[in-house]
Amino acid sequence: MEWIRGPAIGRGSTATVSLATAVPSGELFAVKSTELCHSMFLQRENYVLSKLSCPHIVKYIGYDVTNETNNKPTYNLCMEYVTGGTLSEEIRRVGGRLGEERVRLYTQQILQGLSYLHVNGVAHCDIKSQNILIGKEGAKIADLGCAKLMGKDGENQGFDTSAISGTPAFMAPEVARGVEQGFEADIWALGCTIIEMSTGNSPWPELNDPVSA
């Protein structure tokens, strides 16, 4: 697939998301990119996302390795472009909290996406408003860089199913203690996200370090 990179539309700790245009169709999609030598999490996300197909999980398109800045190999994960931005951005746009009907709708859609992941043996491990995209069809789960394939499938693909990852303020107690991280922790993190949708704040806005607390 030939494509042209456009402007950056998002930045994370390890990758940049850009708008891209397919050639010659002109179709827009999103490209998540990082240097090939630092692409372990992005390659994991590519593997997991390529196995999934659900209306409430961002759609996988493919991947590409290119030589760009300073002629360094760059790993690119290609996904659908979801026009509404993140759930976190929507919360801010409407003044800090969503209406009850919108909270209910997004919660149902995220649960449908999580149910699909869990049935297919995938724990997301970093559910939060920044990792939920909002499009015309509603909420879509994105950013599976921390995801785990649970059980033998994960072990066979070299996934460390004992590793702990994610965002501290959204971690379940057992995850914060470093005990375990699985499907149940995704539900806890969704609960924290529902609180954020309803109030505009995380469950512990007054704490600098919710994990230690």
Residues with active-site annotation: 126
Q: Percent helix, strand, coil in the chain (nearest 5)?
A: 35, 25, 40
> Does residue 172 contact residue 185 with C-beta atoms inside 8 Å?
yes
Rg (CA), the chain: 17
**Is 32 labelled as part of a ligand binding site?**
yes
Query: In angstroms, rounded to a whole number, what is the distance separating the alpha carbons of residues 186 and 127?
Result: 6
Q: What is the DSSP letter of 59?
A: P
The answer to whether the bond into 168 is cis (omega within 30° of 0) is no
* Pair of tokens at residue 14: 């390890």
* C-alpha triplet 39, 182, 169: angle, nearest 5°: 75
| Known binding positions for ATP | 32
| Known binding positions | 32
